[in-house]
Structure 1
Amino acid sequence: MRKHNLQRIFEPRSVAVIGASDRSNSVGYHALHNLLEAGFSGSIFPVNRNHKELLGQRCYASIADISSPIDLVVMAIPAASIPEVMQRCVEAQVGGVLVISAGFGEVGPLGKQLQDEIVALARQAGIPLVGPNCLGIIRPKVGLNASFARSAVRDGRVALVSQSGAFCTALLDAAYSGGRGFSAVASLGATADVGFGEVLDYLSFDPQTQSILLYIEGVVDARAFLSGLRAAARLKPVIVIKPGRHAAGRRAAVTHTGGHAGSDEAFNAALDRAGVVRVNTVNQLLAAANSLSSGIRVRGSRLAIITNGGGPGVMAADHATEQDLPLAELQAETLAQLAKVLPQHWSPTNPIDLLGDADSKRYEQSLKIVLQDSEVDGALVLLSPQGMTDPSACAEGVIVAAQQSRKPVLACWMGLDQVAQGRQLLSKAGIPSFNSPEGGVDGFAYIAAHQRNQEKLMQAPPPLSERAQVDLAEARRVLQEVLDQQCTVLDSVQARAVLEAFRIPVSQCINCTSSEQVQDAAQRLGLPVVLKINSPDITYKSEVGGVRLNVHDMTSLPTLYHEMMAAVKARSPQAQIHGITVERMELRPHAREVMVAIERDPVFGPIIRIGTGGTSMDIYTDSKVALPPLNVFLCEDLIQRTQVERALQRHRHLPEADRAALVEVLKRVSEMACELPELERLVINPLLVDERGVIAVDAWIALSATPVSAAPYSHMAIHPYPQGLASTIFTKDSREFTLRPIRPEDALIEQRFVDNLSAESRYFRFMYGMGQISRAMVARFTQIDYDREMALVVVAADGKPEASMKAVARYVASPESGSCEFALAVADEMQRQGLGLQLMQRLIALAQQRGFSEMRGEVLAQNHKMLRLCRRLGFELKRDPLDGELIQLKRSLTLETS
């Protein structure tokens, strides 16, 4: 693969500053001054027609006057002048543009028009554009400070990416004062062209960046954002801070960035699936960075607290409860061992109070015992500098105990001068140290949250269940019938038909338009029955007198029919009434009422909601959401986060409800969200769940009035696993194999595949000598988004043990729009068997379906077998003008596959 297109922005060899100035209060002055002060070793070209020299540097009247190649252009000129200058940058073939100037989309339609104009110029020329309205880019290791920030920036291992320049400057100042540094700082402003996705993609492979901090005010392209975020989070910890948790803050963020106002619930659900951690304050951001950058990981969330003072221990325990962190229940054996090393009057509880005279030995022995308890996932050790306490010695005791266990240990040495040396010892030993008990609890909470979300990141649900296939054609027929009638809301009968098509159990229902039909329907179904108004315009039927429950008297049905019709027409005179449905009264005394819904977020598309159902739905606001697609693991996680979890459990007179049946409904609803992009909203309420299973007794569906894209799953933020792409292929010697998209669980066979390649095959694939493939690379290769990247593998035929991978081909979307880059590797023993040809033909066909116009690649000149294959596939071959050992490959995807 070629170098990332942002490399010339983050690691330029030359920078031009357009709008450079000698006025110390101007942005142009600070942009040039910062470049010089940071010690940038490349060429610096100030551009200002009014000066011959600026800050000791030769000044140019125009970028066209600079004869040398320009990697990065920094613009600090009025917005109205930028389109003309952007055209000159295109003509000069610059590597990237950074627009610091404001006055674009954030100021209204005219500004948005200017913004669209410069973005169109940049994209047409393949020039990445950062901004506008941003602070700039800082890369300390190369001496690059292309910003107007006043703070110096130390080199470090944490990258900061932010939409807010003000947030950047505040954090940079605090970090410098606290001795912290950054591997890179990117203020993206309006993200009109280069967004979070591209920057995260670059940073995920940056060897200097160990963790990433994000400040986000709004997301423009949810698919690109999540794709980049998930790719980065697979390789290194990512911590997100986002304002706008409430409506007023969201409105301010939209005004600032010009983005879209999605719900905070949906944003949280997206982060859950991305494997990252969200924080709400700057202090929490630093605490999370402190914890996650240490590299320690946890398998659970049960915390043990050890302290030499009761007060701090209680504070930590209270905060753990507020953070939904369970305190570990210490086993009897652990308590017995602690009793041998602690004073007689200690209290055998968690928090474990070592008492005020605790010394180094007591800390070491107690922590060692606690960490051996299988009920403990991690420990927070607190110390207050009391009269008999030696903070430094106690820190050494903690370090000794922590080094003998793989479980995470965090520390809080409270105070300042007396504990400073102890904190230094802990930090040097890799033990995260905090100033307060709450900070320590937060630190552990972030490690636990990161682990939980990493598990969610690993999930790759298929688009449709492998069991009990749904009748997708019937569901689409019903929706199209409604749309053909110029309607966007389904009535009760139509909604139930869609649920039935997806194999969701529904109560039997007959629509009636006369009192006689009502009696006939009740006779067929059997008493007791339920009468409900059938109208696409009425969501809450009981509020307009449109429901009669538990009707036992056949003779009362005509009267009830006429009463309901009159009541509904009086209260909702404009509503279309399709009749009254007669339904069997579901007599399920042990049933719990649950609500399951699909909603459409303006940023992240469809989301799945579950919560308390029935008439209590609007009273108990304990519902939670998740982004589809869902599998069993994700459905279970969603249920566990609501009060539904407790309701399903066995109670005094209630048997345990059928949890698996509810999970199956959530999976089916997820399938509906994936396969029916027309769905604007679905509400199943109530869904009755008991020991006998589930049954939906009412449903409401609304459709989008705008046409949906023909591209599969384009309405979703996360592309589901493309289940339907598996096929059987044969080698030239008639051996049978399966060709399918790669899965996250293929990590082991992917590692074996690469490790077993010969040195020559490995060199031809990666273009450099390498040892064993790292876990990070395995994760990168196997956990893909199936949208901007596709990987096809050849494995043992279905039904046979998949002991090995025989070949793999992949494409990755190029930063320039419309093209993708490919790579292919075939096991040495399987070469010359036709696998490479079949893989590439399928990959090219998928890239065409995805809408790419061109496929590119690079092959070593001595890789003759690969070059022959590429010629056969219709690629144009051209020797790289900068590297004679490389052959550049290019194939138009608008042609028929050869």
Structure 2
Amino acid sequence: MSTINLDHLFKPKSVAVIGASNRPHSVGHVLMRNLLAGGFDGPIMPVNPRSQSIGGVLAYPDVNSLPVVPELAVICVPPKAVVPVMECLAEKGCLAAIVLTAGLGAEQYDDKRTVKQAMLDIAAQRKMRLLGPNCLGLMVPGIGLNASFSHQNIGSGKIAFVSQSGALCTAVLDWAAARGIGFSHFISLGECDDVDFGDVIDYLGSDPNTRAIMLYIESIHERRSFISAARAASRNKPILCIKSGRFAEGAAAAASHTGALAGADDVFDAAIKRAGVLRVYTVSEMFSAAETLSRMRPFRGDKLGIVTNGGGIGVLAVDALIERQGHLAQLDDSTIAELDKVLPPTWSRANPVDIIGDAPGERYAKAIETVLTDSNIDSLLVMHAPTAITDPVEVARGVIDKIKDSKKNILTNWVGEATVAEARNMFYAAGIPTYRTPENAVAAFQHMVNYRKLQDLLMETPPSVPRDYTPQTDKARSIIHSAIHAGRDMLTEPEAKAVLECYGINTVKTIAASDVEEAVRTADDIGYPIALKILSDDISHKSDVGGVVLNLDSSDEVRAAATKMQRTIAQKFPKARLRGFTIQEMVTRAGARELIVGMTTDPIFGPVILFGHGGVEVEVVRDRAMALPPLNMKLARELVEGTRIYKLLKGYRDVPPVNLEDLYMTLVRLSQLVVHLGEVVELDMNPLLADQHGVIALDARIKVTPKVVSDDKRLAIHPYPRHLKQELVMDDGTTYLLRPIKPEDEPAHYEFMSRLTPEDIHFRFFGSVRELPHSEMARQTQLDYDRDMAFLAVVPDGPEQGQIHGIVQVVIDPNNEHAEYAIMVRSDIKGRGLGRVLMEQMIAYCRRKGTETFIGQVLPSNRRMLTLCEKLGFSRKYIPDEDVFEVTLPLQRDAE
């Protein structure tokens, strides 16, 4: 994850083409033709040892003969020639290259390294950035750069398109050219061996010329960099994606129902939702959504109003809206009364507002003006079907004049083609989204709704997790390691339930018995009725093989059932090793729901948590949703609400709702188990019984592995860094808990801000701030721990328990070069040394992380902070234009 030297790739001042050619239809020929025709105003230097000129431009025999160091090199030579070219470029000081050549992984040297690996080794040594190999190239129309062998040039625009597929790139170029759509960047990633989605999203996320980012994804190579970059960029601009291979399923031989149910596409959906990326399914839908979202005004709600001159197209729009689970606004009585004054008596008197087929622009304008005042309407769709007595252009002009200053989102749908083409162009020119069909217009509105939901998820403050809960991680790990040392990768049911109990997850009492008679004695001790299950390391789904018998009421029934179970297993599965039986009390709850909760390990995104409709028919019903850990209460709620069974869980008729808070807490605790115990690779609780009293796991299975990787490699999202918590005792005896900030800290952060003096606020924000909006506070509390950090000094106990006395925060750039800090300490406790302690802790953290420089900006009047920085070894430089001191502390040089 790095944007180092990407400016040389996307904003080069000179370009060299190694492999340029005069041979018609060759890659080198098309590439040079595109570069020369694009209008790039820097030097274009073709390299070809057999030609004096290429396309009328002086050619050079080799890289060493180039008159200047190229900022960007485009390589289109045979595979064996790539590495010598790279060596020459690296020696010359080139810092970016596009490798169009394919097949680099198939060619090997004597040392068994492939051409691809040798190329990457050279690039890594010199920090040279590589796009490709096996890609179409790159276009940046704003600077006239067409460094591709595309058949189609493009115009400049505000949308960036990034694709792994060269074939799709050419199709999209044709599609966009036919519609006059331009781009800020058009990037073919190819095999993503260096520059990957995360790098490009980070770069485009801060590019002022890019208003929206569109992705075509075949696979994700660097999961954490992708999610971190997308999460950061999507707070500033829409990111949309198409994902191919939607119906590829995971391994069929999964040891749990969760493993069998967790399709790769479901996991991808969960990942991009967590990152704030909106998924679409066609190229046309992607462009429509990008155009809509990039022009979207502040979004107020999800209720749509419709004004139309045709009842039929209005009904089509409503059908499309309801099909997409959208909400049609209900007109206020006062709105209907006002419309009665300006519309013909035969108007629909409801939403959609049908203003009759002969409506001219003036009638549209009056209807729109009235409807927009209705507080029930959040966005408005204006529709028009051409008739013999109306002029689509005149109507469009009347609509544009009326809606151009509206604060609500307006979409338009002029149905037809040639007759309404000019009107559509007027909407384009006015910056008003317009669509060819009612269905497309409604889809665009729902994109706005879904995008806003994603943004709200990124900004929503989660409720706090109860504090009176501490998992018994060491005990759980001991149970797992005992099984691993015994050579098993599946825990027994009692072991699995014991691990769950260590994390506060309620399970039914289960006891193992080695033979039939011990099973009878155990059943007598537990009390009847009981459930009897086979205990075998070789049988995962016990009910599928007759290994489960329920509601046994006596010792005779237990003895008979156990004997039959042994006989059946011996006949059907003679190689299965039987360890005995498990006996558990029967749990029967009227109206309870059978659920499944579990986790599996996706080969790309790592651990993923599943929730859904459980029981023996779980794989037939297939009602489930997935989420990436770590979870909090908010994310757990979103996971449950993503299933069909959620409606039943809320209660209906005389069936009371289940205890949803207990269910959410169970999911959070499972998430903690997954984060803490890297040995767990698959887990099932099926059924998990849920009713108004809470939840209880009736059955559980856990698959483990001795090959534990670090959290950095295992989890797609950096979990809360709990290992950074520590207790601080100040010189005056005051004790603080120093810990990383959490999303749940937002209310306490507001309370902390309320206790700051105007001077404190001025020193921190360089101005007067009355109260930070929720969106800004969410940015400060909901951190991506991969790239940002904030430490709180919290009072651990006493009358002020939970109060924040000081905060230090850093924002680290994607290259880990600079950490820009900000610090606040309450005025009434200054002088205790807390500010210095917070700074020292953050400096130490950044030093361990490998960050190169610690920087900040300090007002000249903030003498206390300037003095502290001086004592800590910062250098400072006054910046007159901003009237601030920039303070700088080199970290790694100090460490050496």
TM-score in terms of structure 1 length: 0.86
8 Å Cα contact 2:3-2:814 kept in structure 1: no
8 Å Cα contact 2:242-2:281 kept in structure 1: yes
SS across alignment from 1:25: coil
Aligned match of 2:518 = 517
Aligned match of 2:719 = 720
- C-alpha distance in 1 between matches for 2:450 and 2:589: 38
Aligned match of 1:609 = 610
Shift, 1:696, TM fit: 0.9
- C-alpha distance in 2 between matches for 1:833 and 1:15: 58
Matched, 1:103 2:100: no
Matches within 5 A, 1:519-538: 519-538=520-539
Aligned-residue sequence identity (percent) comes to 37
Matched, 1:856 2:853: yes
- C-alpha distance in 1 between matches for 2:624 and 2:305: 30
Aligned match of 1:292 = 293
Amino acid at match of 2:620: I
Matched, 1:211 2:212: yes
Residues 754, 150 of structure 1: alpha-carbon distance in 2 compared, 3 angstrom cutoff: farther
User: Which deviates more, 828-837 or 374-383?
Assistant: 828-837
Matches within 5 A, 1:824-863: 824-826=821-823, 837-847=836-846, 850=849, 852=850, 855-856=852-853
Amino acid at match of 1:492: E
8 Å Cα contact 1:49-1:60 kept in structure 2: yes
Shift, 1:329, TM fit: 4.3
Amino acid at match of 1:601: D
- C-alpha distance in 1 between matches for 2:55 and 2:649: 72
Shift, 1:617, TM fit: 0.7
The C-alpha deviation readout for 1:118-143, integer Å capped at 9, x for no partner, is 11221122222111111222222222
- C-alpha distance in 2 between matches for 1:610 and 1:77: 51
Shift, 1:751, TM fit: 11
8 Å Cα contact 2:808-2:839 kept in structure 1: no
The C-alpha deviation readout for 1:828-887, integer Å capped at 9, x for no partner, is 99899856653443234434655x3x6235689999999997897689999xxxxxx999
User: Which deviates more, 19-28 or 314-323?
Assistant: 314-323
Aligned match of 1:741 = 740
Residues 800, 26 of structure 1: alpha-carbon distance in 2 compared, 3 angstrom cutoff: farther
Aligned match of 2:320 = 319
Matched, 1:431 2:432: yes
- C-alpha distance in 2 between matches for 1:402 and 1:521: 77
Matches within 5 A, 1:494-643: 494-643=495-644
- C-alpha distance in 2 between matches for 1:119 and 1:88: 14
SS across alignment from 2:327: coil
User: Which deviates more, 361-370 or 582-591?
Assistant: 361-370
- C-alpha distance in 1 between matches for 2:705 and 2:538: 15
- C-alpha distance in 1 between matches for 2:66 and 2:100: 21
SS across alignment from 1:578: strand
Amino acid at match of 1:846: Y
Matched, 1:709 2:706: no
Matched, 1:64 2:61: no
Matches within 5 A, 1:654-669: 654-669=655-670
8 Å Cα contact 1:235-1:776 kept in structure 2: no
SS across alignment from 1:186: strand
Matched, 1:41 2:41: yes
SS across alignment from 1:786: coil
Aligned match of 2:20 = 20
- C-alpha distance in 1 between matches for 2:840 and 2:355: 68
Amino acid at match of 1:821: H
Task: Work out which of the residue numbers 814, 819, 823 in structure 1 matches 2:820.
Answer: 823
Aligned match of 2:882 = none
8 Å Cα contact 1:515-1:561 kept in structure 2: yes
Aligned match of 1:422 = 423
Matched, 1:486 2:487: yes
SS across alignment from 1:482: helix
Matches within 5 A, 1:10-409: 10-66=10-66, 68-105=68-105, 113-247=114-248, 263-330=264-331, 334-335=335-336, 338-339=339-340, 341-399=342-400, 402=403, 406-409=407-410
Shift, 1:239, TM fit: 1.1
SS across alignment from 2:681: strand
Residues 290, 108 of structure 1: alpha-carbon distance in 2 compared, 3 angstrom cutoff: farther
Residues 329, 803 of structure 1: alpha-carbon distance in 2 compared, 3 angstrom cutoff: farther
The C-alpha deviation readout for 1:404-427, integer Å capped at 9, x for no partner, is 754322110112343334334434
Residues 306, 146 of structure 1: alpha-carbon distance in 2 compared, 3 angstrom cutoff: same
SS across alignment from 1:32: helix
Residues 411, 129 of structure 1: alpha-carbon distance in 2 compared, 3 angstrom cutoff: same
Residues 140, 404 of structure 1: alpha-carbon distance in 2 compared, 3 angstrom cutoff: closer
8 Å Cα contact 2:819-2:846 kept in structure 1: no
SS across alignment from 2:578: coil
Shift, 1:211, TM fit: 1.0
8 Å Cα contact 2:465-2:632 kept in structure 1: no
- C-alpha distance in 1 between matches for 2:874 and 2:68: 33
Aligned match of 1:881 = none
SS across alignment from 1:247: coil
Shift, 1:340, TM fit: 5.2
- C-alpha distance in 1 between matches for 2:722 and 2:462: 9
Shift, 1:734, TM fit: 8.6
Residues 643, 462 of structure 1: alpha-carbon distance in 2 compared, 3 angstrom cutoff: closer
Residues 369, 667 of structure 1: alpha-carbon distance in 2 compared, 3 angstrom cutoff: farther
Matches within 5 A, 1:859-878: none
User: Which deviates more, 787-796 or 437-446?
Assistant: 787-796
8 Å Cα contact 1:859-1:867 kept in structure 2: no
SS across alignment from 2:496: helix
- C-alpha distance in 1 between matches for 2:292 and 2:61: 50
Residues 341, 857 of structure 1: alpha-carbon distance in 2 compared, 3 angstrom cutoff: same
Residues 679, 530 of structure 1: alpha-carbon distance in 2 compared, 3 angstrom cutoff: same
- C-alpha distance in 2 between matches for 1:750 and 1:200: 34
The C-alpha deviation readout for 1:322-358, integer Å capped at 9, x for no partner, is 3222333445555555555544444455434333233
The C-alpha deviation readout for 1:649-684, integer Å capped at 9, x for no partner, is 323342222222221222122222222222211111
Amino acid at match of 1:24: P
- C-alpha distance in 2 between matches for 1:832 and 1:187: 56
Aligned match of 2:881 = none
8 Å Cα contact 1:809-1:822 kept in structure 2: no
User: Which deviates more, 560-569 or 517-526?
Assistant: 517-526
- C-alpha distance in 2 between matches for 1:894 and 1:546: 65
- C-alpha distance in 2 between matches for 1:665 and 1:164: 41
Shift, 1:556, TM fit: 2.0
8 Å Cα contact 1:750-1:782 kept in structure 2: no
Shift, 1:191, TM fit: 0.6
- C-alpha distance in 2 between matches for 1:515 and 1:54: 88
Residues 404, 51 of structure 1: alpha-carbon distance in 2 compared, 3 angstrom cutoff: closer
User: Which deviates more, 696-705 or 799-808?
Assistant: 799-808
SS across alignment from 2:289: helix
Aligned match of 1:256 = none
Residues 660, 759 of structure 1: alpha-carbon distance in 2 compared, 3 angstrom cutoff: closer
Shift, 1:717, TM fit: 0.9
User: Which deviates more, 94-103 or 463-472?
Assistant: 463-472
- C-alpha distance in 2 between matches for 1:214 and 1:751: 40
Shift, 1:526, TM fit: 2.0
Amino acid at match of 1:71: E
Amino acid at match of 1:488: D
Aligned match of 1:882 = none
Work out the number of aligned pairs and report it. 867
Amino acid at match of 1:504: I
8 Å Cα contact 1:130-1:194 kept in structure 2: yes
- C-alpha distance in 2 between matches for 1:107 and 1:280: 37
- C-alpha distance in 2 between matches for 1:79 and 1:628: 42
The C-alpha deviation readout for 1:56-97, integer Å capped at 9, x for no partner, is 433222222335333212111112211222122222221212
Amino acid at match of 1:55: G
Root mean square deviation, CA, Å = 4.1
TM-score in terms of structure 2 length: 0.87
Shift, 1:242, TM fit: 1.7
Amino acid at match of 2:5: N
- C-alpha distance in 1 between matches for 2:569 and 2:62: 73
- C-alpha distance in 2 between matches for 1:376 and 1:529: 58
